[in-house]
Amino acid sequence: MLLSSALVGRMYYLQVTSRDQYELLAEQNRISMRLLAPTRGDIIDRYGRAVATSTTDYRVNVIPEETEGLDETLEALKAYIPISERDTTRIHRAAKRQRSFMPISVANNLDWKTFSNLNVNMPDLPGIQPDVGTTRFYPQKELGAHIVGYVGAVSEQELTGEPLLELPDFKIGKNGIEKVLDKQLRGSGGSSQVEVNVLGRVIRELSRQDSVSGDTARLTIDMEMQKYIANRVKDESAGVVVMDVHTGEILSIVSTPSFDPNDFNNGISQKKWDALRSDIRKPLMNKAVSGQYSPGSTFKMVVALAALEEGIITAEDTKYCGYRYKIGNRIAHCWNKNGHGKVNVIQALAQSCDIYFYDLALEVGIEKIHEMAAKFGIGERFNIGIMSEAKGINPNTIWKYGATGERWQGGDTINAGIGQGYVSTTALQLAVMTSRLANGGKMVLPSIFFDEKAEPKTPEGMDINPEHLEIVLQGMTDVYNHPRGTAFRYRSRSKDFKLGGKSGTTQVTGISAAERQSGVIKNDQKEWIGRDHALFVGYGPVENPKYAVSVLLEHGGSGSTDASPIARDILEHVIEQDVLREQEDSISGQPV
């Protein structure tokens, strides 16, 4: 009777008193909660073409707490898929750092045959979880690499306690727009409550809360234009930016050479990474936004405007260029060893006379040049949404003293007068500068994202005399269209429109007196790393400006002979494609 009473009492305790507790434990053994990863949002160009998207990925995970032993399960799994020692080490490391019920990635990008074979043999593989997810894919490959960046696995430093980040194969933005817009693109996770048997195999799904996909990011970039420009400069170490001069929309940002962001998706090999890092042409660097270079003669429009606005010169005033210019104990030279003779500001811009701008810069002074350069975006970081955007340098007396502890000298001013010395810009800044010149002095700001909800805004004026702008623009028009213009040979081939622009060539190494005596070594006779940088800024059509372009060729040679034909080809292509779209829209009845 005592034994029976004890058994009955124990049964009452288990079944009545502690019913809720043991029922919960039983449910936990029977019910499995699984976190559902969201689909990452797409990145598309202005016409809806995919730049970054998500594709189906067959993969297999392991849940440590559901295994009879992690090593035993991995050993059994090797009968179906290869698992390296490196993978085994990674899985054990992940098992130690995260919660035991969280799945750990074993392998991904499996073919359908392997994946289906795993599903059939699930009873022999406790703790193994076949999964159908998504992986990031960049269909444009190298064309969009410097803009969109890439995604990668979550590092230990990036774990914030958010369960979503602990999911196997969950990727976050590591560079470019992928990182800048990571949270918007990431979306939010869902959950699935499933009933499992003793082996952990799913019997049925009891409830489900779907994940929410990330937002789609639409860019102002035209990927067809991106492709055209990338092909045009494929043999160069180059940075190119194309902008709408009225809206500020960036139609193209190209940097060559480039890389394939898909290589980073599943972990780039050490060999490929070392090759990218050691390449002298710096394929990982976005030269259009991050590269900082002396603007050379493309800066002369700023100096000319500063002088015109201060009333120091008029369009008719001339200066004499005789090749040599003495300042203190220093002799500066013009690029033209025969000199340009008497030239006014329009002629000096068209022929890129250095002597004219040495003298003009000294008359204007660095402070006024600095103020005018700031109006045109030199030394400004625009934060357009691409990482590592450089600020450049718009120097003046205060800047130099703070940076070097030395006072500003007259030699610094004449260097600035031709866009060299301490002046440093990016291709993006030069495109903004050219846009503000071409649009009549409006402070347009560059943008790379379409904001569907934003109201169109008219850019503010910069309080610059329109007549002075016309003088400078005439000089830029003559660069391409006057027989003595530096880029006359490469003027527009179209009979329907003209182009305007300005060439620039910046020295990488100084020219010694002995070299001037014996003859300056030509760029094509130098090692690539010792050649001059070639730049060109342009706009078109001259009659009704709509587009601006900046071209930077790192160690490219000459702005007039190497960069200007590239700028011409790009502007012609952009304008002609624009005309074709208008014709197609007109025929289809769509608004132009």
Which one, of 419, 464, 422, 421, lies nearest residue 441 by Cα? 464
Here the tokens at position 494 are 């179209």
Burial of 383 (0-12, 13-18, 19+ CB in 10 A): exposed
Could you tell me if 563 and 536 are in contact, meaning their C-beta atoms sit under 8 angstroms apart? yes
pLDDT by residue, tens only, the chain of 592 residues: 889 888 888 887 777 776 665 554 455 556 767 778 888 999 999 999 999 998 888 888 888 888 888 888 888 888 888 888 888 888 888 888 777 777 888 887 788 888 888 888 888 888 888 888 778 899 999 999 999 999 888 887 787 777 788 776 788 888 899 999 999 998 888 887 777 665 555 667 777 888 888 999 999 999 999 999 999 999 999 999 999 999 999 999 999 999 999 888 767 788 888 999 999 999 999 999 999 999 999 999 999 999 999 999 999 999 999 988 888 888 888 989 899 999 999 999 999 999 999 999 999 999 999 999 999 999 999 999 888 899 999 999 999 999 999 999 999 999 999 999 999 999 999 999 999 999 999 999 999 998 777 677 788 999 999 999 999 999 999 999 999 999 999 999 999 999 999 999 998 765 555 555 555 567 666 787 888 999 999 999 999 999 999 999 999 999 999 999 999 999 999 999 988 887 776 666 555 4
Here the tokens at position 470 are 């016309």
How does strand 43-44 pair with strand 217-218? parallel
* Distance (Å, whole) CA 381 – CA 543: 31
What are the backbone dihedrals phi and psi of residue 516, each rounded to the nearest 5 degrees, phi first?
Answer: -65, -35
Tokens 């369009």 correspond to: 315
Here the tokens at position 34 are 């699984």
Could you tell me if 247 and 439 are in contact, meaning their C-beta atoms sit under 8 angstroms apart? no
Burial of 64 (0-12, 13-18, 19+ CB in 10 A): buried
CA dist list (Å): 204 to 31, 193, 509: 10, 9, 73
SS (H, E, C) 558-584: CHHHHHHHHHHHHHHHHHHHHHHHHHH
Q: Give alpha helix (H) positions in 242-289.
A: 262-265, 270-278
Here the tokens at position 414 are 């004449």
* Distance (Å, whole) CA 42 – CA 37: 15
pLDDT given for residue 426 in this prediction:
97
Which one, of 70, 166, 204, lies nearest residue 125 by Cα? 70
pLDDT given for residue 592 in this prediction:
45
* Distance (Å, whole) CA 145 – CA 51: 9
3-state SS assignment for residue 462: coil
**424: DSSP letter:** B
**159: DSSP letter:** -
Here the tokens at position 345 are 């500001």
Could you tell me if 440 and 469 are in contact, meaning their C-beta atoms sit under 8 angstroms apart? yes
3-state SS assignment for residue 307: helix
Q: Residue 539 forms beta bridges with which residues?
A: 500, 548
* Distance (Å, whole) CA 462 – CA 441: 6
H or E element: which one contains 351? Answer: helix 345-351
Beta-carbon neighbour count of residue 579 at 10 Å?
13
Q: Let me know how long the chain is.
A: 592
* Distance (Å, whole) CA 130 – CA 214: 24
Q: Residue 550 forms beta bridges with which residues?
A: 241, 537
* Distance (Å, whole) CA 476 – CA 501: 5
How does strand 128-137 pair with strand 150-153? unpaired
